Structure 1
């Protein structure tokens, strides 16, 4: 008897050919010398941001040996103590029950596979195989375990479904069996890995040969090709790439690529010495993920350029992940997320969007302002920090040091940089003043407005001029909007507001937009104000409870012109009443809220990207909103955001096209163009019916 865990002895070519199955391949065996020259190999070091999922989250056990996502979207996890199914909210655990003959055959799961009919195949450490029918919820026992007193257990290593034939099962002893509706039949021995080629082709990797055969309906084999290899019993893998129409062989320290049509090797990548046997492998487009037994981390190998990265793991939600995490298995879901099963630490989830969202100043709650028109100066106003300098080194803006002796900062944290490079701010000293600072000068200088008007706040807007919220009487609420030429140092226009705007806990003007024909729009806490130059008067748009087509709220945080028809529609973000689209000709609105898929009804910021989609920051995450169809895609901290709750007055676009949103846990910035390659969602499946939170049949 061979002890459990002992490797099988090496089988030379003659021994392989002596096998009835392989004997017919003698004339077809070719040498490995046909392989192309390997490219130079360098290992790079990387870090994968991951979420850590453990038994505390619902997994039955921390040793996760197999994972698969089925066609309905469920994720299945095979562990050492049961089979777990996740619907994204919780886990259902299946275990063997001696009282139920239709329950799972054993608890230690070693392999999983979904077949073309949608059944789940479950391989176990004892060698038993079950087939689970999701339509009936019944486990059919296909292969019974061999009692350990008779022979050593044959743990299932791998499944492989042959088109039009059925399921092949490979165990750790190298035996390939056919598990159909009838009796189990042995197909081959001394196999390290197998995979399916075109139609009924089966690729089998032996200890010193790669054998390709056609499996007939009666399970007879027609030899197609065999490739002689250096003898080894080290674990190996065969992975089919249906997109590139190639087969990938991982064996010893090499990755060999084969053209599936010609069955010939086309390229070789030499792996760096890793001092560990292959433990896990998965194809991910033109990348190959590898895990090695006893070696912490996950290797990612580029199949096109041979670039290899050894990745460690960093837990994104504040947990302390051990440094010695060894990979057991990989899986990828339909949204592109990478799932990593470990040898005792549960599952690591690397989201597809990780690395696309960037985080700054976590632990703080800043506001943002685009200080210049071009967006070269995006400033976190709490500490007056320049977020997007060309060298990427965040630093204070010059105005901060200049104002330091005063002990004061810009009113409502709003500062501007004019086209000549001068910095401007309204600052309260003994009285409210408009200050200008030229870099290199000794100190800011006060710029008088030449009237009795008191400057209260610079308005954040896209204009070469400064727009100043002011009071016509010192000490009174704001009742004027001034347009100020920073070069001529004079007021060029005065707009008497229709009523006084009060500043208590909020900016009196939260958003400003320049519409067609010189129209001016102001978002306030007291409604939406519209100035039409032809009429030389203001129109105030407010919520009317008797009119469902009016604005949903008077409390406005953000304004954004429609990306398709900017002269016809204006998008209005409100507090606790959703996102409204106003027709600027008829003044009717259509409102979108949580019932339309938005994550929250408080809309802090709205930005339009180059694809004419709207990005909406809320109290409960970020939303990409399609103004044409109303389709939504919501993002949360789990997708890589700095935090889920955003701040008002804190959404802007940099000169490089990156979007910046600030919230209660720092700043999130990203390139919106990188977020359009996600896969579609899984089909909706009814998994249960409940009445008053009680399950019913």
Structure 2
């Protein structure tokens, strides 16, 4: 397999085992998991979130761009010596198109496009001193339309990029022409189901008729107490029912196609489910059709269309599973269904709907869980990040707690457990940060399998990331840094398969994260950062598939 596209979901296996027992979440009572600087995020202030085709989450912050693989963050910041690095620490926009291109807007540097082959950020239509360049512009909004054209909202006008002609068209406000856009300061973009483009600015809402090249303006009228509540239009979203929602600095509005009018969401202090007027930072419809609204002072809101009610989710200092704060900057749902909520000064929040019901597995310490296995007897084994191996019966009773004991060589070789596998014989194999162990059920001891590392100085750091049993019953071990290993059970030795930069038929990398087998008994080896390999077990030859070969995989 490739690096899993739902790597964000894989991270949920590292559950902290401290959930309240048998907690049943009500329809308006959900639990958030907080991800912040303590977990490696570069900054508390999250501005935008996107996901690329490989499954990585990209998180823009006020101090750098973060790439998250579900386990760790890679942070990109300006490098004065590298013109293809980000030009500003303040990253306000990140966006992926259907072709998989990742676009980044940072500061007043125009637009950059990420090159995954080089890890650099190339200028995109942002050549200095070019009359139609994005150089020097602040990127506020990006949208790919139905025709594959890219619309870019900036502080100095609206740009349309035609990939067929490789050309930009600029739309600017002209005070002498009412058919032009109402302002050059673009804040939000939306294309509805009819192909109509909606543009939010700091001076009203605009509907663009492409065939006539004309903008129709919708403005706030202070005399109309039910119409558009402000001219500062930050976000626009069409839901699956065709309703267009408009977020402003004064609250939420709805556009009615039949009457061509905009109506604000009124606040009734007597109604506990009424939306409280507030600065709207984002509007997002999830895969289930629920509408989410991010506000700057009143937290996160969910709109229930069937009851026409709003439910509010706010920070509670006494509940560590509430939102980290009430100033919500952005909302994003990844392809695995996990909701991510960015905040203004308190990092990320993560919500997975499938975990609305929690069952607690008691532990003596709070540790992350990196591996989970249910054996053929129905017993549950949990490998923790630093407290050994836990074994539970079907009734959730803790049967045994196995730890490393330096004075006893028949115990686990270390405290951190990274992988678990039960083979066809019923034997349990344990991958750790210091090598492979096998649990002997008869003696209740652990057998350690020593190895010969590529780098002798890393003899005590044999990280086993995955354990796979092939159709012939052979055990294959994926490691961090030591490549692929095949275990000889009788001799307790390994055969090693490494990356050789001089041999294109060797593995593409030595960090092996996933192993699978096809019907022809070829192994498929997924690496961290070096693509995928088809491995012939008989010859030891690997066919490498990197990003350039993705179409062939």
Partner of 2:206: 211
1:161 is displaced (CA, Å) by: 1.9
1:108 is displaced (CA, Å) by: 1.0
The structure-2 alpha-carbon separation of the partners of 1:307 and 1:126, relative to structure 1 and needing over 3 Å to count, comes to same
Would you say 1:159 and 2:161 are equivalent positions? Answer: no
SS in structure 1 of the partner of residue 354 of structure 2: coil
The structure-2 alpha-carbon separation of the partners of 1:130 and 1:222, relative to structure 1 and needing over 3 Å to count, comes to same
Residues of 2 paired with 1:286 and 1:137: CA distance? 36
> Which one of 251, 254, 257 corresponds to residue 256 of structure 1?
254
The structure-2 alpha-carbon separation of the partners of 1:619 and 1:603, relative to structure 1 and needing over 3 Å to count, comes to farther
> Which one of 392, 405, 415 corresponds to residue 647 of structure 1?
392
Contact 1:47–1:312, Cα closer than 8 Å, also in 2: no
TM-score (norm 2): 0.52
Residues of 1 paired with 2:200 and 2:88: CA distance? 28
The structure-2 alpha-carbon separation of the partners of 1:46 and 1:313, relative to structure 1 and needing over 3 Å to count, comes to farther
The structure-2 alpha-carbon separation of the partners of 1:144 and 1:649, relative to structure 1 and needing over 3 Å to count, comes to closer
Partner of 2:73: 91
Residues of 2 paired with 1:338 and 1:121: CA distance? 21
Contact 2:252–2:277, Cα closer than 8 Å, also in 1: no
Contact 2:55–2:69, Cα closer than 8 Å, also in 1: yes
SS in structure 1 of the partner of residue 38 of structure 2: helix
Residues of 2 paired with 1:99 and 1:168: CA distance? 31
The CA deviation string for residues 500-558 of structure 1, in whole angstroms up to 9 with x for no partner, is xxxxxxxxxxxxxxxxxxxxxxxxxxxxxxxxxxxxxxxxxxxxxxxxxxxxxxxxxxx
The structure-2 alpha-carbon separation of the partners of 1:183 and 1:98, relative to structure 1 and needing over 3 Å to count, comes to farther
1:349 is displaced (CA, Å) by: 0.7
Residues of 1 paired with 2:265 and 2:323: CA distance? 31
Residues of 2 paired with 1:322 and 1:228: CA distance? 34
Partner of 1:230: 221
TM-score (norm 1): 0.42
Contact 1:240–1:246, Cα closer than 8 Å, also in 2: yes
Would you say 1:602 and 2:421 are equivalent positions? Answer: no
1:145 is displaced (CA, Å) by: 10
The structure-2 alpha-carbon separation of the partners of 1:274 and 1:267, relative to structure 1 and needing over 3 Å to count, comes to closer
Contact 2:251–2:277, Cα closer than 8 Å, also in 1: no
Contact 2:201–2:232, Cα closer than 8 Å, also in 1: no
> Which one of 505, 509, 514 corresponds to residue 690 of structure 1?
509
1:194 is displaced (CA, Å) by: 2.3
SS in structure 2 of the partner of residue 105 of structure 1: coil
1:348 is displaced (CA, Å) by: 0.9
SS in structure 1 of the partner of residue 108 of structure 2: coil
Residues of 1 paired with 2:359 and 2:29: CA distance? 16
Residues of 2 paired with 1:662 and 1:235: CA distance? 55
Contact 1:337–1:351, Cα closer than 8 Å, also in 2: yes
Partner of 2:151: 168
Residues of 1 paired with 2:137 and 2:150: CA distance? 17
Partner of 1:358: 358
The structure-2 alpha-carbon separation of the partners of 1:257 and 1:604, relative to structure 1 and needing over 3 Å to count, comes to farther
Count of aligned positions: 343
1:314 is displaced (CA, Å) by: 6.7
Residues of 1 paired with 2:252 and 2:149: CA distance? 30
Contact 1:286–1:302, Cα closer than 8 Å, also in 2: no
Residues of 2 paired with 1:82 and 1:126: CA distance? 14
The structure-2 alpha-carbon separation of the partners of 1:695 and 1:115, relative to structure 1 and needing over 3 Å to count, comes to closer
Contact 1:65–1:341, Cα closer than 8 Å, also in 2: yes
Residues of 1 paired with 2:352 and 2:105: CA distance? 28
Would you say 1:270 and 2:266 are equivalent positions? Answer: yes
The CA deviation string for residues 363-407 of structure 1, in whole angstroms up to 9 with x for no partner, is 799xxxxxxxxxxxxxxxxxxxxxxxxxxxxxxxxxxxxxxxxxx
The structure-2 alpha-carbon separation of the partners of 1:305 and 1:264, relative to structure 1 and needing over 3 Å to count, comes to farther
Partner of 1:513: none
Map of 1:9-28 to 2, 5 A cutoff? none
SS in structure 1 of the partner of residue 43 of structure 2: coil
The structure-2 alpha-carbon separation of the partners of 1:266 and 1:126, relative to structure 1 and needing over 3 Å to count, comes to closer
The structure-2 alpha-carbon separation of the partners of 1:65 and 1:49, relative to structure 1 and needing over 3 Å to count, comes to same
Structure 1, unaligned runs of 5 or more? 1-43, 148-152, 366-597, 606-616, 622-635, 638-643, 651-660, 666-687
The CA deviation string for residues 157-214 of structure 1, in whole angstroms up to 9 with x for no partner, is 211223336222223x473233453356234452553211246521124567543223
> Which one of 277, 299, 302 corresponds to residue 300 of structure 1?
302
Contact 1:60–1:93, Cα closer than 8 Å, also in 2: yes
1:620 is displaced (CA, Å) by: 2.6
SS in structure 1 of the partner of residue 53 of structure 2: coil
Residues of 2 paired with 1:695 and 1:336: CA distance? 24
Contact 2:324–2:349, Cα closer than 8 Å, also in 1: no
Residues of 2 paired with 1:254 and 1:227: CA distance? 15
Residues of 2 paired with 1:244 and 1:322: CA distance? 29
Residues of 2 paired with 1:115 and 1:161: CA distance? 6
The CA deviation string for residues 11-38 of structure 1, in whole angstroms up to 9 with x for no partner, is xxxxxxxxxxxxxxxxxxxxxxxxxxxx
Map of 1:394-409 to 2, 5 A cutoff? none
Residues of 2 paired with 1:264 and 1:227: CA distance? 10
Residues of 2 paired with 1:320 and 1:247: CA distance? 32
Contact 1:59–1:91, Cα closer than 8 Å, also in 2: yes
Would you say 1:58 and 2:40 are equivalent positions? Answer: yes
Residues of 1 paired with 2:117 and 2:242: CA distance? 33
Partner of 2:292: 289
Contact 1:109–1:122, Cα closer than 8 Å, also in 2: yes
CA-based RMSD of the aligned residues comes to 4.2
Map of 1:137-536 to 2, 5 A cutoff? 137-142=119-124, 144=126, 155-164=138-147, 166-171=149-154, 173=155, 175-179=157-161, 181-183=166-168, 185-187=170-172, 188-190=181-183, 191-198=186-193, 200-205=195-200, 210-215=205-210, 221-222=213-214, 227=218, 229-230=220-221, 232-241=230-239, 243-251=240-248, 252-258=250-256, 264=260, 269-271=265-267, 272=274, 274=276, 276-284=278-286, 285-293=288-296, 295-313=297-315, 324-355=325-356, 357-359=357-359
Contact 2:47–2:330, Cα closer than 8 Å, also in 1: yes
